[in-house]
Amino acid sequence: MALHWYLWLAAALFAIGSVGVMVRRNALIVMMCLELMMNAANLTFLAFARQQGAQGQGGHAIAFFVIAVAACEAAVGLAIVIAVFRTRGNLELEQARVLHE
């Protein structure tokens, strides 16, 4: 497949994720959209690494680090979401903005 097909797919995934982050109010859905955006960035890195051939090993390394950051973000984010759910009883971001009440 040509490089531009991978880039179009990555752009579509990133656009869907960014719309989801801006529009949705549920914390779990926002986190899933952030993961979708990171996967779109990984797809871009790997597509360019595939185009580079043997010289494109840096794209694989960066994608590995993005996956590690995504795993850390998921662990910390889910811990925060569980803590907010236990105190507030829901996962709506509008109601979780004021945590001092």
Q: Pick the residue with more confidence: 24 or 9?
A: 9
DSSP string, 41-93: HHHHHHHHHHHHGGGGHHHHHHHHHHHHHHHHHHHHHHHHHHHHHHHHSS-BH
92: left (phi over 0), alpha (psi -120 to 50) or beta: beta
CA 47 – CA 51 distance, rounded (Å): 6
Domains of the chain: 3-96 (1.10.287.3510)
Q: Does the pLDDT at position 22 exceed 90?
A: yes
Average pLDDT over residues 16-23: 94
Question: How far is 9 from 81, CA to CA, in rounded Å?
Answer: 30
DSSP code for 40: H
Mean pLDDT rounded to a whole number for the chain = 86
Q: Once rounded to an integer, what is the mean pLDDT over residues 40-68?
A: 86
